[in-house]
A and B are shown apart, each in its own frame.
Chain A
Amino acid sequence: AIQMTQSPSFLSASVGDRVTINCRASEGIRSNLGWYRQKPGKAPELLIYAASTLHSGVPSRFSGSGSGADFTLTISSLQPEDFATYYCLQDYDYPWTFGQGTKVEVK
């Protein structure tokens, strides 16, 4: 199974900060990667798909980059609703696998 190593696991930040989250795949997955945000008690919601395509309706402060094995999610200016947990997901090969998650907390 492809392992997704996500970093950092926790991140303390303030409103307005620029935040970067990374995911590394144990083997190449082309651009078959999505980023999801999950707020407490809610289902995950899609932010980015195909590594760098912003999902419809998602604010432009979110961006994704990378291909092959290394990927990055960037939030250019953190907003109050962005304090949540973020996951990457590879859909290149079964079993699909998520990163361990990054919890973004208030500094």
Chain B
Amino acid sequence: QVQLVQSGAELKKPGASVKISCKASGYNFITYYIHWVRRAPGQGLEWMGIINPSGSTATYAQKFQGRVTMTTDTSTSTVNLELSSLRSEDTAVYYCARWTYYFDLWGQGTLVTVSS
């Protein structure tokens, strides 16, 4: 079955880091770029960045530069998103999505709550 399955919800304190995983199955993992998108409560969708699973090269939105790292593990067909120096404004549902001229496959979303 072609799918992206994300790791579970996280509760973090301000200043901490979070790492979310996105495991691909049912297709050739290195063929499609993966993006990360988030949606904060009451807000719209926000593009965070893109990673090429075959070469692990990534491009990040400037807003997150210095705080975000996207990595891949081809042995497990997994893409990871790490966000550091968390603040309350980072509370959101984070999605990974596969790109093939459009977002055709999404993970189920991972809720990250940042609260003291």
Residues of A within 8 A of B (CB): 1, 34, 36, 38, 43-46, 49-50, 55, 85, 87, 89, 91, 94-101
Contacts and interface: CB of A to CB of B under 8 A. Distances in A.
Interface in B65-116: 95, 97, 101-104, 106-109
A95 B47 contact: yes
A96 B103 CA distance: 12
A101 B42 CA distance: 11
Given A44-B103, A46-B103, A55-B102, A96 B47 contact: yes
B24 to A, nearest CB: 15
The contact size tier of chain B is 20 to 34
A98 B45 contact: yes
B101 A95 contact: no
List the 7 shortest-distance A-B pairs measured between CB atoms, nearest first. Answer: A43-B106, A49-B102, A101-B44, A95-B61, A96-B47, A98-B45, A100-B44
A87 B47 CA distance: 12
A67 to B, nearest CB: 16
A44 B102 contact: no
Contacts of A101: 44-45
Contacts of A44: 37, 45, 95, 97, 103, 106
B10 interface: no
Contacts of B37: 44, 98
Contact of A43 (B44, B61, B63, B107): B107
Contact of A87 (B44, B104, B108): B44
